[in-house]
Amino acid sequence: MDKTDFEKTRYEFLESISQALDFGEQPIIKALLVTNNTYLIGEADKKAIWDQAFRDKFLNDSPFFSIPLFEKLLQLSLDCAVALICSPTLPVILLTDAFDILSLGKCEEIFYMVEMKVSTWKQELFFNQCKNTLLRLCNDLLRRLSRSQNTVFCGRILLFLAKFFPFSERSGLNVVSEFNLDNLTTFGGKEDLSDGSDITEKEKDAMEVEESLGSDYNLYKKFWSLQDFFRNPNQCYTKIPWKTFCLHTNDVLSAFSTIKLDERRNRSKWDEADVSADVGIDETSTNAGNVQQYFAKYLTSQNLLELQLGDSNFRRYILLQFLIIFQYLDSPVKFKQETHKLSEEQTTWITEATDQVYRLLKDTPPDGASFAQSIRHILKREELWSNWKNDGCPEFRPTIAPNTDDIPNDSSNGEKKTVAVARPRRMKRSLGDQIREASKRHKCIIGNAEMNRLWNLCPDNMAACRSKDRDFLPTLEHYFEEAIEQLDPSVESQYKRVNEANFGWRALRLLARRSLHFFTHGNTPITRLPDYLETHVRKLAKDIPLGIWISKLGVILRRSINNIKNHTQKGVRHKMQVF
């Protein structure tokens, strides 16, 4: 198809899309099917033209963007994809175009179109071809958003990805348990601290900072240096960092125990929030201080530490970080190094520190006891997820009801009858699961029972090759035994085995593997192979210990004696029969 025909067909398809969208509230796909069937061109070419026509329709309407109109266009593209008129990736491409040209506010408004169609995206027609495009779309949005200002939108995107992809999707599992080491928390030194000269007396009174809190620089430094351990817990497995971590943790927990919360400031917020909820005040009319904010990074100024230590939410953040790192240090993780183990003394300290953290959480209002119980339940569930990851993240399968062959059924005449119930088919284990289980037991699966038995006789191929049973080479004494006996001058040359070509070829290979005489340099050139072999046979005869020949002669003598006895007994029996 040349360029002119392509443009003409694209324009006609674009007109058909506009007519379908203008037909009532729901777009009609029948008109598009009629238009599609009238063109006798390749299916791949028609799909490419339809895709371009849909994108052109969106771009033409983008200056006057309307959410209802775009939703109709998206639904029409989905119907066309199901009817095999256009490509299955077209709906996601339209969404990508929309998110690329719209503001973040508009993107948040239309993201519900992505969320509400999770079941559609998970269909076989769309999933394999659209999953990478949808993942790229969501990642691009997350890069544009601010974690502190667009927290809810970021959460919606992450929830969608969790619903869309299966649990066993490797790209979102962090299988090797890596930490975000780039998440650094910086705090100032003594020379960076402000002396407070630029703060007016009025501002100081507004902050309501009590002198009794009195957090000095040492506490400030210990407090924020703990964030480096939270960022990379593996450094706690070394001796010196562990001592530092224990010292700083004890000081911070002691500070939490001695420093009381700013009850006046916190209580006023809780009371105002309760009053607003009871009266039914609209969210827009509430004070900005009552709105819960999310901060992606801590504010690490020393001038703020006194206020932070007196804030209940901030205290909960820090205590929860302690519980998370305590659980990680004491839990089995598949990808931990062998040296990353705690001693009995360290385990005891973690247990005591964990109990102290839970006591502080219970004492932190509002609803400290219920909050601590919820955190304990969440961390208990986290152990299950950790065990699931240690097992290689197997897929979740629905449970099957137990087999029941017969179910009793009471008939109308009082007699009990049995109703046959079909046995549910047993789910066939996938080949990957079978191979994984066999690998754990150091076994091989070939696909045939007899082949499996043969290969599992010795699964280690190298060990099987090194086995003594695999050594089929004969010894020099055994192979050259007859040739050595034929060194007797009374044996004629034509009857000697060294003259046999097959024997000579095998003898050379055996000498190269077993005899050092084969590599001895000689000045005499080799004329004939039998002469060369006879020379080596004479050398071997000298090397063979005398005891071996004596034992062999003993065997020969015993055979001769037995033969003589047998002949003698036969002769005696024959004479007795004659008489």
Q: Which two tokens stand for residue 286?
A: 């509430």
465 and 551 fall within a common domain: no
- For residue 548, pLDDT over 80 is answered with no
Q: Which two tokens stand for residue 215?
A: 């957090």
Domain stop point among 117, 144, 170: 170
462 and 492 fall within a common domain: no
- For residue 574, pLDDT over 60 is answered with no
Domain stop point among 390, 422, 453: 390
241 and 261 fall within a common domain: yes
Query: What is the pLDDT at residue 213?
Result: 42
354 and 441 fall within a common domain: no
Query: What is the pLDDT at residue 325?
Result: 96
Looking at the domain assignment, is residue 305 inside a domain?
Answer: yes
Quote the CA–CA distance of 84 and 125 in Å, as a whole number: 10
Looking at the domain assignment, is residue 45 inside a domain?
Answer: yes
The count of C-alpha atoms lying within 13 angstroms of the C-alpha of 400, restricted to the half-sphere facing its C-beta, is: 10
Looking at the domain assignment, is residue 165 inside a domain?
Answer: yes
361 and 497 fall within a common domain: no
456 and 371 fall within a common domain: no
- For residue 296, pLDDT over 90 is answered with no
53 and 97 fall within a common domain: yes
Query: What is the pLDDT at residue 196?
Result: 45
Domain stop point among 150, 170, 190: 170
139 and 247 fall within a common domain: no
Looking at the domain assignment, is residue 368 inside a domain?
Answer: yes
Looking at the domain assignment, is residue 402 inside a domain?
Answer: no
At 501, is the pLDDT very low, low, confident or very high (cuts 50, 70, 90)? confident
Long-range contacts of residues 98-106, Cβ cutoff 8 Å, at least 24 apart? 98/58, 98/70, 99/137, 99/140, 99/141, 100/140, 101/62, 102/65, 104/144, 104/145, 104/150, 104/153, 106/65
Query: What is the pLDDT at residue 154?
Result: 93
Query: What is the pLDDT at residue 43?
Result: 83
Residue recorded with tokens 């700013």: 262
- For residue 328, pLDDT over 90 is answered with yes
Average pLDDT of 417-426? Answer: 54
At 541, is the pLDDT very low, low, confident or very high (cuts 50, 70, 90)? confident
369 and 247 fall within a common domain: yes
Query: What is the pLDDT at residue 202?
Result: 47
Query: What is the pLDDT at residue 288?
Result: 42
228 and 135 fall within a common domain: no
Average pLDDT of 488-512? Answer: 84
379 and 510 fall within a common domain: no
Of 474, 539, 544, 483, the closest CA to residue 513 belongs to 474
Domain span at residue 152?
3-170
Distant-in-sequence, close-in-space partners of 526: CB < 8 Å, separation ≥ 6: 532
Looking at the domain assignment, is residue 506 inside a domain?
Answer: yes
How many separate domains does the chain show? 4
249 and 378 fall within a common domain: yes
Looking at the domain assignment, is residue 29 inside a domain?
Answer: yes
Looking at the domain assignment, is residue 551 inside a domain?
Answer: yes
